[in-house]
């Protein structure tokens, strides 16, 4: 007995349902029966039980427990625009030099230069942030360990991205509405990554995302959250987290396609996103491109805006 890979989806549902308060015995039995009877199991109608709670929480700023440490810049400009001040955006390129493979940093820099990817200024009043899967599994848990002997080196870019996400959240407490996704993993891998300790509140809600796309399952509340953002005048959704060439790529494109008639701009912030170190290296699998560059080109071609970094104003 225990919570292992097979039980991970049920563990994820129970974790989400007990974020705010303990679950009663009656609800526990009722939810398990729903899971058993639904062809979609834990990704089916059982998640609809959380929607009223999600609608009251996700319309507010993210719950973060640390005191805000940076000044909030108040500006009247509402539309995003390219900014020429790119100094804050160099951090990821610098950090990638510490992956023990200088080619990773060089390839990343070439992507930025060859595709003319620029920083982007976005008003916090007009946008929201979705951080995808900032979990221990990718840096210290099951996903990382599945890579093998080079796991510590391979996950360094993801760790850098998580550290930058944590820094951003700590410094922008009330500036940006933020939500998260989590991929089902067993205990020890499912938790928020260690760098978010004391930053992401223990009561923080999230969207369960068992695959690459945040739009699955359609009962996870993501669509309703985005519709609420748009109803409140949000025009842009920024995505970050991991992995850049997989979940971020798929989620950004799918979200763009689903909401494009609503004129919602999807932006991917490269400075807050990471992938395996090997995904930054050129490969014959992608016609001589790296998996990351291939993903950036695919996102751009689909209509997703890819930014070297987002500067919130």
Q: Are 268 and 240 in contact (CB under 8 A)?
A: yes
- Express as a percent the part of the chain with pLDDT over 70: 86
Looking at the predicted structure, is the pLDDT value of residue 140 above 70?
Answer: yes
Best CA proximity match to 80, nearest among 200, 214, 201, 238: 238
CATH number at residue 31: 3.40.50.850
Q: In angstroms, rounded to a whole number, what is the distance separating the alpha carbons of residues 180 and 129?
A: 8
Euclidean distance between CA atoms 229 and 236, whole angstroms: 9
**Residue 85, pLDDT score:** 41
17-21, 78-82, 107-111, 202-206: least confidently modelled range: 78-82
Contact 119, 308 (CB under 8 A): yes
What is the Cα Rg of the chain in Å?
19
* Residue pLDDT, tens place only, 67-108: 433 332 332 233 334 343 445 676 788 888 877 776 888 889
Residue 169, in any domain of the structure: yes
Q: Give residue-wise pLDDT tens across range 225-234.
A: 999 999 999 9
SS3 279: helix
Q: Is residue 52 very low, low, confident or very high in pLDDT (cuts 50, 70, 90)? A: low
Percent of the chain with pLDDT over 90: 71
Find the mean pLDDT for residues 189-195: 97
What is the pLDDT, as a whole number, of residue 153? 92
- Give me the domain span that covers residue 253: 8-312
Which one is predicted more confidently, 206 or 86? 206
| Largest interatomic CA distance in the chain | 58
- Answer whether 169's CB lies under 8 Å from 62's CB: yes
Q: Is 178 helix (H, G, I), strand (E, B) or coil?
A: strand
Q: Give a yes or no: residue 1 inside a domain.
A: no
Average pLDDT, the chain: 87
Number of folded domains in the chain?
A: 1
How far is 158 from 137, CA to CA, in rounded Å? 11
Please give the structure tokens belonging to residue 185: 């993993």
219, 109 contact by CB (below 8 A): no
Residue 81 lies in a domain: yes
Look at residue 165 and give its three-state secondary structure.
Answer: helix
> Of 79-88, 99-108, 167-176, 284-293, which gets the smallest average pLDDT?
79-88
């Amino acid at each position: 007995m225990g919570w292992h890979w097979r039980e991970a989806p049920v563990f994820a549902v129970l974790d989400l349902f007990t974020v705010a308060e303990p679950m009663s015995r009656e609800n526990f039995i009722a939810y398990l029966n729903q899971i058993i009877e639904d062809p979609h199991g834990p990704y089916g109608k059982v998640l609809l039980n959380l929607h009223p709670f999600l609608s009251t929480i996700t319309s507010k700023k993210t719950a973060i427990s640390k005191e805000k440490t940076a000044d909030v810049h108040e500006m009247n400009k509402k539309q995003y625009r390219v900014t020429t001040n790119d100094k804050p955006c160099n951090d990821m390129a610098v950090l990638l030099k510490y992956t023990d493979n200088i080619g990773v940093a060089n390839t990343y820099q070439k992507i930025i230069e060859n595709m003319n990817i620029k920083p982007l200024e976005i008003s916090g009043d007009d946008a929201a942030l979705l951080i995808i899967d900032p979990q221990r599994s990718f840096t210290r848990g099951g996903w990382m360990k599945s890579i093998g002997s080079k796991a510590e080196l391979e996950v360094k870019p993801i760790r850098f991205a998580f550290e930058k996400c944590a820094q951003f959240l700590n410094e922008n407490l009330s500036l940006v509405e933020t939500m998260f996704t989590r991929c089902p993993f067993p205990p020890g891998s499912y938790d928020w990554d260690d760098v978010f300790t004391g930053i992401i509140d223990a009561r923080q809600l999230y969207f369960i995302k068992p695959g690459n796309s945040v739009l699955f399952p359609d009962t996870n509340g993501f669509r309703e959250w985005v519709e609420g953002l748009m109803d409140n005048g949000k025009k842009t959704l920024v995505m970050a987290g991991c992995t850049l060439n997989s979940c971020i790529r798929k989620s950004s494109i799918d979200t763009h396609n689903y909401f494009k008639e609503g004129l919602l701009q999807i932006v991917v912030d490269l400075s807050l996103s990471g992938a395996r170190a090997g995904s930054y290296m050129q490969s014959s699998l992608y016609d001589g491109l790296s998996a990351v560059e291939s993903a950036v080109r695919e996102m751009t071609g689909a209509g997703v805006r890819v930014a070297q970094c987002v500067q919130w104003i």
